[in-house]
Every structure is written in C-alpha cells, then in structure tokens.
Amino acid sequence: MAQPNGYSSRKRRYRYQQQPAGTKPAEKRLPKIFFCGDPHGQFDQINWAATQFKPDAVVILGDLQPAAPIEEVLGPALAVTQVWWIPGNHDTDTEEIYDRLWKGPIAAHNLNGRVVNIAGVSIAGLGGVFRGQIWMPDGPVNYQSPAEFLQNASRVNTWRGGLPRRHRSSIFPSVYQALMRQRADILVTHEAAGCHKKGFEAIDRLARAMKVKRIFHGHQHEDVTFAPYKGLRVRAVGFRGVVDIEGNVIVEAQIDPRDLLVMQQAGMEPSPEVFDTIDRMPIVDIFSSHPVRRGEKGPFRDRRRDEPRKDGRPRQPRRSKDRK
C-alpha cells in the first residue's frame, strides 16, 4: 500500500513488525501507540498510519478542527484502532468543530484532565492552552476553576449555559492540580514543555509530579525531540506528523504554511528542501475548518526526515522561527 506521500511501504517496513516477539525478554515491550501532531482539518495521515500499521491506539495532540463529522474524517482509523485526543486552542473556534469533538463518536475518548490506561500504558492528558484571563503560569490565578469563573459570569458571556466556548479550551488550575495528584507513564499536552522557547515550565512541574517518563505535545507545529530534558523525553510532534511511542517518525510532519509565509514576507528564500514540499502542500487556512487543496496532488512530503539526502548529507531537525 502506498503512503499518502507516494512512498512505498515495502521500502520501509515498520520496525514493530520486523521485531519478533520475545527477542528481548527482559525488556518491557512498549505498545504500538501513535501520537499525532495538529491535524488542522486534515486526517489522511492518521488514517493512513492506522490502516497501514494497525496500532493499539492513536492519540491526537489537539487542534483537530474536523471539517466534517468525525466518523467521516477518521472513519478508516476508527475501523482499526481506538482514537484518543486532547483539545487544542482551535478546537473551540466554532460550534461545528466543538460539537463534532465533544458530542461525536470520540467524545468519551477526550483525555483532558484525566489518566487512562491505553494498551497497558497510563496516559495523562492536559488539553487546551494557558490564557491570561484564566491563568498564565507563573502569574496570578484569576479563576481557579470553571465553577469560580461562572460565579462571575454575570459580567461575561456564557455559552449554552456554561463556560464561554473559548474557555473550554483554556487550562484551569483546578484541572492542572487534579492531574498533579495522579501518576502516569506518559503526559500528552497541547502546550509545549519548558524546553521549547515558547513552552511552560508548569508543564515540566506537572510531568515531574506525575512521575511521567515521556511528554508528547503539539501546538508549536515543530517536529523536535528534546531528550534528555530534566530526566524526561519530550517529543514535539509537528504539523500533521505522526510518531510512535519512542518518537520515531511514522508520517513526516509538514511545514506550517504560516512559516512559509513568514519566510516569504521576510524576503528569505526557503531551502531547496522546503521547495520540494511546496507543490504537495495543501493551501490551508488553518484558522478555518475548510482546508483548500492545491490541485490534485497529495498533501504529503515524499521523503522522510530520517533518510539521508540524495547528496548524503544528514537531514537536520526543522525549527521554526515564529510560533503561533
């Protein structure tokens, strides 16, 4: 089966399939769980990875922005595996997006604010983002909990009789502190940990308190491994990328279209590698739930970050200059 980026799967068999069971009897065999960076309305990469490798589970790290019902956009993945998710800041942008996630077929698989045993691994979720109106670490707490916010709701807009929709993707201290009292193997967040220049040490403190070993996060649209970091492995999963539980690339992340725009506006010439991706990239307004693709070509890059370039030079991790 061909990858959505045109790559032949026969050239790169997934290593879990190559490793015979029992070859490392003393080592705990990690489950095949895939972690998926911000889809922003596009799910082909997740459906492809799920149907090709049949993972035990996939976890989507926020900013799903489904443009159609979940059973349509994630149908192939749902047919072969369990799909878990945390909300991102854009998942409360519209009523349609909110209802597809919070009321659709994966509503009960929202990991935000809880720890769930998934395929034998305990995974904690902290979705959403820090917002100053609620709490911006390490500043003062304006509202400890949704209940406290609503007590003052006479001066603010409520939505459907409860929190404003926007704050349903905001991090409240009460949710954060409840997680701190629990233990987990893995923490998934939308916000980045402190190792990222726009990350939060509050995420580091949460990971330490929960004694997690690994953090996977989205939001920054960068595909980077920070390890070791404070005794943790932190995996930033890039825009529409998919990685396994050890951080290995399953589907390579795409360039954030906004990064390309920033480079062009700054008069910078993107590297040849970036140009390679352009005619395969969708033109997407990622603040909209309706992606528009250029032509009929597939949206994915045709090469993997862990393969050498044609001239033999190693590929470098991609770091964005501007985070949004």
**Shortest separation between residue 221's beta carbon and Fe ion, angstroms:** 6
**Shortest separation between residue 256's beta carbon and Fe ion, angstroms:** 8
Check residue 256 for interaction with Fe ion (CB under 5 A). Answer: no
Q: Which of 44, 63, 204, 223 binds Fe ion (CB under 5 A)?
A: 63
Please give the C-alpha separations between residue 304 and each of 5, 54, 117, in angstroms, as whole numbers: 10, 20, 31
Nearer to Fe ion, 53 or 66 (CB): 66
The interface region with Fe ion, picked from 22-30, 35-43, 194-202, 204-212 by CB under 5 A, is: 35-43
**Longest CA–CA separation in the chain, Å:** 64
Rounded to an integer, what distance in angstroms lies between the CA atom of residue 215 and that of residue 238? 14
Q: Which of 267, 242, 256, 277 is nearest to 319 (CA)?
A: 256
**Rama region for 230: left / alpha / beta (φ>0; ψ in -120 to 50; rest):** left
Q: Which of 84, 57, 56 is nearest to 70 (CA)?
A: 84
**Shortest separation between residue 30's beta carbon and Fe ion, angstroms:** 27
The interface region with Fe ion, picked from 55-63, 75-83, 159-167, 248-256 by CB under 5 A, is: 55-63
**Shortest separation between residue 236's beta carbon and Fe ion, angstroms:** 12
Give the position of tokens 């390890």. Answer: 227
Q: Which of 253, 232, 221, 231 is nearest to 321 (CA)?
A: 221
Rounded to an integer, what distance in angstroms lies between the CA atom of residue 78 and that of residue 105? 9
Grouping H, G, I as helix, E, B as strand and the rest as coil, residue 99 is: helix
**Contacts with Fe ion in 73-132 (CB under 5 A)?**
88-89
Grouping H, G, I as helix, E, B as strand and the rest as coil, residue 2 is: strand
Nearer to Fe ion, 66 or 88 (CB): 88
**Shortest separation between residue 31's beta carbon and Fe ion, angstroms:** 26
Nearer to Fe ion, 29 or 324 (CB): 324
Q: Which of 4, 5, 38, 93 binds Fe ion (CB under 5 A)?
A: 38
**Contacts with Fe ion in 201-230 (CB under 5 A)?**
219
Q: Which residues lie near Fe ion (CB under 5 A)?
A: 38, 63, 88-89, 219
